[in-house]
A and B are shown apart, each in its own frame.
Chain A
Amino acid sequence: MRAPDVPETPSVKSSPSRSPFYAALTFGVLLVVWVIFSGFFDLFHLSLGVISCGIVTWLSSHLLFDDRTLPLRRRAVQAWRFAGYMVWLTWQIVLSNIAVLKLAFGPRSALQPQIIRYRTPLKSDFEKFLLANSITLTPGTVTIKILGDVFYIHAIDDASAAGLNGEMDRRIARIFETSAA
C-alpha cells in the first residue's frame, strides 16, 4: 500500500518545486507489480513489462500520485505510518468480526440500532475516505452517508455508538501530519 497524498493545494499542477522522481517511482511500482503477476523472468517478458509500464507511466502517472510537490522523504514516512495504521485496522477488524459473531447468535435485545451524526475535523477527500472505510470495518458501525464534515453512521448497539470518540480521526491525522484533532 502506498500512502496517497493530502492535496492541500490541488490547483498547483506544475509547481516549480515538484519532485522529478515521481515518474520514476510510478514506473518502479508498476514494474514490481508486473514482475510479481507475470512470474516470467526471461528477456522477452521483462521487456514487454518495461514497455507497458513505460506507456502507462507516460499516459497516466498523475493518477497514482496527485500532489507531486510533497518531498519523497515525507511520503515514505507517510507510507510507513500508513502500514502501521493498517496493522491496527486489521486488529480492529478481528474485534469487529467477533462482535458480529456474538450478535448473530445472541438475542434480538442485544441490538440497539440507531443512526448517529458524527462530525470529523479531517479535511481532505482521501482522509475522509479512509475514515469512512475504517468506520465501516470497525466493530458495530457502518458509514451510510457523508455530507461535508458530517458522517451519518449506523451503529448496531450503544457500545459501538459510544466507541466513536475521535480516536480514529487522531490516528488518521497523525499519518498525514495534518492539523486535525
Chain B
Amino acid sequence: MIVTVLSILLIVTGLVFFLGAAVGLTRFPDFYCRMHAAGKGDTLSTLLVISGFAVYQLHGIDDFTEDWPVLLVVLKLLAVVVFIYLTSPTSTSALADAGWEDGIDPVIEPGHENHLEDDCRKPSSPQP
C-alpha cells in the first residue's frame, strides 16, 4: 500500500515536471531558451518516473528469499537513469552548439552580453 502510494507520488511529480518542460518548450522566446526546458525538464522527470517504476517493483516482494530477483529489475531501471544523466546534458549542449553553428541568432535581453558573438561570430551571410 505504502509502496503503491509512494510510486504514484513519484510518477505524478515526474509528470508535473514533464508538463513544465513542455510548456516552457512552447513559451520560451528562442531556440536556446527552449533548450533549457528540453534539456533539464526531462532529466529530473525521467529520474522521478523511473524511480516510481522501481519502487512499484518492490510491490511484488512477498517472500524475500524467493522474490529477490525483482531487485535485478530495480537495478536495470537505475541503469536507465544513469544513461539519461550522461546523455541528456551532452545532447543539450550538442544541440545548442549545432544551433549556433547553423547561425541561429539568440534573443539577448537588451543591455546584456553576448560574448559568443563578440568572440567568434561567423559571417552571417548564408552560404550559397
Residues of A within 8 A of B (CB): 1, 36-37, 39, 86, 90, 93-94, 96-97, 100-101, 103-105, 108, 111-117, 132-134, 136-137, 140, 142-145, 147, 150, 152, 154, 156, 158
Contact = CB atoms under 8 A, between A and B. Distances in A.
Given A94-B44, A104-B24, A142 B107 contact: no
Contact of A104 (B37, B69, B85, B108): B37
B interface, size bucket: 35 or more
A137 to B, nearest CB: 5
B43 to A, nearest CB: 6
A104 B29 CA distance: 11
Contacts of A108: 27, 29
Given A115-B116, A116-B115, A133-B89, A39 B108 contact: no
B100 interface: yes
Interface string B36-66: 1101110111010000000000000000000
B77 to A, nearest CB: 11
B20 to A, nearest CB: 4
B106 interface: yes
A114 B39 contact: no
B17 A93 contact: no
A111 B21 contact: no
B108 A101 contact: no
Q: Which 7 A-B pairs have the closest CB atoms?
A: A104-B24, A101-B20, A114-B112, A136-B89, A117-B115, A112-B109, A133-B89
B30 to A, nearest CB: 7
B23 A104 contact: yes
A142 B93 contact: yes
30 contacts: A90-B47, A93-B40, A97-B17, A97-B44, A100-B37, A100-B40, A100-B41, A103-B28, A104-B21, A105-B20, A105-B23, A111-B28, A112-B109, A113-B29, A113-B33, A114-B113, A114-B114, A115-B116, A117-B113, A132-B89, A133-B86, A136-B39, A137-B40, A142-B39, A143-B93, A145-B100, A152-B115, A154-B33, A154-B106, A156-B36
